[in-house]
Amino acid sequence: MSVFRLAWNGVPQWVFHQVAWWCCVLGPEPWGWISMAVFVAVHLGFNRGDIAPEVLLVAAATGVGLCVDGCLASSELVRYEGVQRLLGVPLWMLGLWAGFGATLRHSQRVLVASPTRALWVGAIGGPMAYGGGQGLGRLEIAGLPGFLLIGLTWALALGLLSWLMNRHQSPASRREAPDGG
């Protein structure tokens, strides 16, 4: 394992992800989601020695995000800002999901280290994150029913991503990962 990979997958990854996250949320289209694509590409470059589980999680998180936000959009309990869309989901939202997938085995691992923790983080953290997005004017949530649906879909989404992460973790990353309890 390279020193550069270990260094990247800590604070630098978290910082770069946060910058790309803010660009996605606040940046003009298409630059927001493009910044997240750059983050994901750099992340995959640093992790090319363990590329299969990384690509799997990025793809799975993006697919799960498309399902979650597609469900939320079609329910009309959540309305998103953004013109560029895939199946009704703004590309900036899909960028957020892809970036989240890239961090799951590293800087965000603690959130999904166990399926039980992932369910709770999703049920509570999902509505909080979307509430923040509403406060930033990027989406609109239709009251308590919208928040409940977000919590349910996010609990299921993070539970699934936790299961995938733990199932497809390489032996090398198991040795370097903190105890997920």
Residue-wise pLDDT for 28-77, tens only, equals 889 989 999 999 999 999 988 889 989 999 999 999 999 999 999 999 99
Give me the tens of pLDDT residue by residue for the chain, a chain 181 residues long: 455 555 777 788 889 999 999 999 998 889 989 999 999 999 999 988 889 989 999 999 999 999 999 999 999 999 999 899 999 999 999 999 999 999 998 888 888 888 999 999 999 999 999 999 999 999 999 999 999 999 999 999 999 999 998 887 655 444 444 444 4
- Predicted local confidence at residue 2, as pLDDT: 53
**Does residue 30 have a cis peptide bond before it, meaning omega lies within 30 degrees of 0?**
yes
CA distance 147 to 133: 12
> Mean pLDDT of all residues in the chain?
88
Place of tokens 């992800």: 17
- Of the candidates 152, 83, 99, the one whose C-alpha atom is nearest the C-alpha of residue 124 is 152
The pLDDT of residue 119 is 95
pLDDT of residue 99: 95
